A and B are shown apart, each in its own frame.
Chain A
Amino acid sequence: DVKVTQSSRYLVKRTGEKVFLECVQDMDHENMFWYRQDPGLGLRLIYFSYDVKMKEKGDIPEGYSVSREKKERFSLILESASTNQTSMYLCASKVPGTGVVNEQFFGPGTRLTVL
């Protein structure tokens, strides 16, 4: 059973703070993703990673960066948090490939509030 965990369920930060969101998966998946989930907008991809030390920008990378030093861990960094980054952040992982292996497994989410 794939397990994707996120370091915090709820987080409250102040404008300008540096924020780290951590995601860990235990199934040796190469691909990992960070999304933000907003009402009426669905899920939007922030960054993804093919493998260790490899990362690519998603659709809304501005204001974010990521780190993938170990295969199981994918961190999302808000360099200087702003109120418009208040959102639910979801991490996901999968093995590469299409067809029956093409399923993303999601973490429980981190609800971030920036004051």
Chain B
Amino acid sequence: AQRVTQPEKLLSVFKGAPVELKCNYSYSGSPELFWYVQYSRQRLQLLLRHISRESIKGFTADLNKGETSFHLKKPFAQEEDSAMYYCALSAMDSSYKLIFGSGTRLLVRP
């Protein structure tokens, strides 16, 4: 079964602390993995994707096929990082539909 699991509903950290949002997936084959973010009163938008192997707003995520994980990390959290984060997996058939995790709300306190 195709599934994305985000075990934490809420992650609260202080400004400047490291952040790791966990994501595990279940998929037969080689998926494409994404992190989407939704800031308060804004639309859902792509943060980063595993194939790009880039850092966006200081966030990185490495695909670990052995552990079927795609955790999102940032060494020093900022207050503006407070948002809802969704890990998603793209079906590699012609639908390209996204399978989302349940989301983790990140709260960065001053």
Contacts and interface: CB of A to CB of B under 8 A. Distances in A.
A102 B86 contact: no
Interface string B8-45: 01000000000000000000000010100000000111
B7 to A, nearest CB: 12
Interface residues of A, number: 29
Given A98-B32, A106-B43, A40 B97 contact: no
A109 B41 CA distance: 10
Q: Determine the main DSSP class of B at the interface with A.
A: loop
Interface residues of B, number: 25
Interface in B88-110: 90, 92, 94-103
A94 B96 contact: yes
Given A50-B94, A96-B94, A106-B43, A40 B9 contact: yes
A56 B97 CA distance: 11
Interface in A75-96: 90, 92, 94, 96
A12 interface: no
A90 B86 CA distance: 14
Contact of A100 (B9, B51, B90, B95): B51
A74 B39 CA distance: 25
Contacts of A45: 97-99
B98 A104 contact: yes
A41 B98 contact: no
Nearest to A96: B96
Interface of A: 4, 31, 33, 35, 40-45, 48, 50, 56, 58, 90, 92, 94, 96-100, 102-104, 106-109
Interface of B: 4, 6, 9, 32, 34, 43-46, 49, 51-52, 86, 90, 92, 94-103
Given A48-B95, A109-B43, 10 more contacts: A31-B96, A41-B102, A42-B4, A43-B86, A50-B94, A58-B97, A96-B94, A98-B96, A104-B98, A106-B44
